[in-house]
Structure 1
Amino acid sequence: MVAKLSFEQLSALRRIDSPTISNAIETFKVRPRVAGYVGSDIRCIFPELPPTVGYAITCTVDSTTEGRQGIGFQKLYDLLTNAPKPAIVVMQDVGPDRLHSCHAGEVMSTLMKRLGAVAILTDGGLRDAKEVGTLGGFQYFCAGLVVSHGNPICVSVGDEVTISGMRVRMGDLLHGDVNGVVSIPEECADQVAEAAYRVWAEEGETLRRINSPEFVTFSGPEVKH
């Protein structure tokens, strides 16, 4: 579990876009560059919202198996109630038909928001986008939207999960926006915002040179992004 950051540190992270957060993490060399973020199969449903930052509350869920018994969603709500805030509920689909799955809608999202969650991240489906969009700042990261909730059950809570290739443990610090979601490593969590501002400054200088009236061709640090 990542050590809890201060209000000021979390606020600083919210002012930074997720790609810049990812670039900042790279400077610490604590993990491979192609790790720690979701793939392009995960959509941000409310791209107009500012970046989302929160601590992961993990669970596995299934809504496409007929008659399967779960442990009950109350265990998830209890875990969320007592977890560090802000929280992001991370729901790994373990059912047989992920494309037809649905793991939350207006009612569950409203409840989770009341319990301190700021977003849901799942590799399955969600619904009620219009209604959830009126909750005020609650984000959906998911494979897509569906109309039916199927047979929703909670299979487990608190275990390590994997969402689109990104491994997530309870308490991991997540950052997401219209570009996707990235996990911030514990080793550098309290330094990432400062590093991101340095990345911004370096990119700003490169863009200044490219946009300069004197620009003819480019020579300098390799442009990769």
Structure 2
Amino acid sequence: MSNLSSSLLDVLRRVDTPTVCNAIEVAEGRRGFNDFTRGTMLSSAPDAPPMVGFARTARIAALAPSQEPPEVVRARRMAYYRYMAEGAMPAVAVIEDMDFPDCIGAYWGEINTTVHKGFGLAGALTNGVMRDLGDLPDGFPVVAGSVGVSHGFVHVTEIDVPVTIYGLTVRPGALVHADRHGAIAIPEAVLPELEAAIDKLLATEHIVLDAARAPGFDFTRFETAWSAFEKART
């Protein structure tokens, strides 16, 4: 995405995912943005800044051993790591566990997160399992579907394909923003306007927030603030 400027990237790293989700609607000039996760996800580092990056996607499974020859499984594993280690930065690993909703294989533990962080990735988004909480490296948050203890028979089944995480379809190369709230895929078309949209959103929200936090706030002051808020955001 050539429209991802360093200035916009800095802004995206400072604001939470709900803010970006709302700002996309400001940039589009309408409500109805739909590329976000559904349901409650878990974060390995709830207080960490959001992860922002281009999606590097794969699918895994862990309930049963692969039925493919061991050499095929090993070759795909190495192809997976090569894929994760190369390509445009910033990047986020987006991994669909095909056992969902019965995932048992904790793909994201201390070793795998440390390897991916070493490759330069910003974090991982998955509908699957994480473990080793407390031992995961700083600066590599994992937003996952669950926490578990075992890796099961985890193995990579596909690489560089569209994946679905809690109702959000992510294509390879999509710009992902994720934090403890969940994740979104940012449409490329809004990137030229997104930084200004975030600034506008934050400014208009303060019209109501500042009034509500001020002494003497009542319905009359709310009504005045809300009217100014609605005018400012259109």
Runs of 4+ in structure 1 off by over 6 angstroms are: none
* Larger helix proportion of the pair: 2
Q: Percent identity?
A: 29
- Greater CA radius of gyration, 1 or 2? 2
**Greater alpha carbon shift after TM alignment, 145-154 vs 75-84:** 75-84
For 1:18-57, list aligned pairs within 5 A.
Answer: 18-29=17-28, 33=32, 35-57=34-56
Matched position secondary structure for 2:135: helix
Pick aligned residue for 1:123 from 108, 124, 127:
127
CA–CA distance in 2 between the matches of 1:36 and 1:167?
A: 7
Pick aligned residue for 2:190 from 185, 188, 201:
188
Q: Does the CA contact (< 8 Å) of 1:64 and 1:96 recur in 2? A: no
Identify the residue that residue 65 of structure 2 maps to in structure 1: 66
For residue 50 of structure 1, what is the amino acid of its counterpart? P
CA–CA distance in 2 between the matches of 1:197 and 1:68?
A: 52
Q: Does the CA contact (< 8 Å) of 2:55 and 2:175 recur in 1? A: yes
> 1:142-171: CA deviations, max 9, x gaps?
011111101111000111111000010111
Task: Give 1:82 shift.
Answer: 2.0
Identify the residue that residue 116 of structure 2 maps to in structure 1: 112
For residue 154 of structure 1, what is the amino acid of its counterpart? V
Q: Does the CA contact (< 8 Å) of 2:3 and 2:192 recur in 1? A: no
CA–CA distance in 2 between the matches of 1:16 and 1:97?
A: 30
Q: Does the CA contact (< 8 Å) of 1:65 and 1:96 recur in 2? A: no
Task: Give 1:95 shift.
Answer: 2.7
1:82 and 2:82 are equivalent in the alignment: no
**Greater alpha carbon shift after TM alignment, 150-159 vs 204-213:** 204-213
Pick aligned residue for 1:151 from 150, 153, 166:
153
CA–CA distance in 2 between the matches of 1:110 and 1:190?
A: 34
How many pairs are equivalent? 220
CA–CA distance in 2 between the matches of 1:40 and 1:46?
A: 18
Matched position secondary structure for 1:88: strand
Q: Does the CA contact (< 8 Å) of 2:23 and 2:198 recur in 1? A: yes
Identify the residue that residue 172 of structure 2 maps to in structure 1: 170
Task: Give 1:34 shift.
Answer: 5.7
For residue 84 of structure 1, what is the amino acid of its counterpart? A
CA–CA distance in 1 between the matches of 2:33 and 2:185?
A: 12
| Structure 1, unpaired ranges of 5+ | none
**CA separation of 1:31 and 1:68: change in aligned 2, threshold 3 A:** farther
Task: Give 1:31 shift.
Answer: 8.6
